[in-house]
Every structure is written in structure tokens, then in C-alpha cells.
Amino acid sequence: MPSLLKKLTTVALATCAFQATAADRPIQFPDYNSALTITGFATQSLHSTHTPGWGIGGDAVYSRDFFNQGGGFVYFPEGTDDPIFNVYIGSGYKRYAQLQYGFGTEGELYRFRSENDLAYLWVLARHLMKLDLSLPTRYENYPNNRWVVLFSAEKYDNRHYLDNVSVGLGLRY
């Protein structure tokens, strides 16, 4: 019998998936600010390099302008026996800076999440290598590219040894 947390996570992810696949909101428009992003990431705990140490994880987050929701998991092979499942809800500036409150198998947590287009970061890095401080234009960075780079930081209320930072790669739908 699935637990209440697993049921809530399933409902939240299904809601995000149905909203993101609506035919009236295609991803091809660069001004389109809502999307479902599925991401895989590597994570490192902040307070200790041994317990729990490094880990892997994944999440699915639906963002719409100033509102975002989603869920995910983190698994520390050296520090925990079971993966940690979390559900998030939050607010922020589009997908670029999100503050989220979550609840999961290890209690309450706070999370900062930032998601940027991989093509935009690539063109920005090429500009900086040439000492060109101008931002990439829409014609340079392929705005229809769906690959994203993720940065997140999690802080748990009661289990400080699980506080971590993550870097990952994802796909936006």
C-alpha cells in the first residue's frame, strides 16, 4: 500500500504533466514562460564530505511565471539507506530564481533553484572568452533549445547533515 507522501507526489506530478502538455501552450515561442522540466543532477552535502557525502537525484518541476511546484528525490549511496523523496511548492522569477518550500521523507526543507538554458550559457561563455560583455541575442542562443542547466541548494529543518548543493542537466517540455 503506497504511503500518503507517495500518493501526494504522484498527484502533484500528474497535475504538472497534464498542464505542461496542453496543446495551446507550445514551447516553440521564446516568450513562453511556463514549462515542465525534468532534471537529473549530482549533489554534494555541505556539512560533511563523508556522511552523507555525494549523491545523485532527479526532479520534475512545473514553473509558470511566478509560481512553481514539483517533486524529486535524492539518493546518497554513502550516507542513507533509502532515497529521500520531496514535494515542493514555491515562487520566484520565472525559472531563473525560485524559492521553494518542501516536505518529504526527511521532514521540511527550503530550496533555492535556478534553471538556465544550456544554449544561452554556451553563447554567454563564448562572449566572455572574447572579453565581449554583451548579453547573447535571441538569434545567437537558439531559444527553442530545450536543454537546461540546473543549480539548486537545499536546507533541511531538522537534519542539517542532509543540506546540499546540486548541479544538473535537464530537458524542458
pLDDT at 116: 83
Higher per-residue pLDDT: 22 or 41: 41
- Rounded CA separation 135/140 (Å): 10
pLDDT at 144: 63
Percent over 70 (pLDDT), the chain: 77
C-alpha cell of 117?
538554458
Predicted confidence (pLDDT) at residue 114 exceeds the cutoff of 70:
yes
Predicted confidence (pLDDT) at residue 72 exceeds the cutoff of 80:
yes
- Rounded CA separation 113/151 (Å): 6
pLDDT at 113: 92
> Is residue 18 very low, low, confident or very high in pLDDT (cuts 50, 70, 90)?
low
The stretch 104-121 carries a mean pLDDT of: 87
The stretch 15-43 carries a mean pLDDT of: 65
DSSP 64-103: ETTEEEEEEEEE-TTT-SS-EEEEEEEEEETTTEEEEEEE
Predicted confidence (pLDDT) at residue 29 exceeds the cutoff of 50:
no
Count CB atoms within 10 A of the CB of residue 92: 18
Contact 74, 89 (CB under 8 A): no
- Rounded CA separation 13/106 (Å): 19
Count of structural domains, the chain:
1
82 residue type, one letter: D
> Is residue 132 very low, low, confident or very high in pLDDT (cuts 50, 70, 90)?
confident
38-49 tens-digit pLDDT: 999 999 888 776
pLDDT at 43: 92
Task: Tell me which residue range forms the domain holding 109.
Answer: 4-24+31-172
Higher per-residue pLDDT: 29 or 43: 43
What's the CATH code of the domain at 110? 2.40.160
Identify the sign of the CA torsion 91, 133, 123, 56: negative
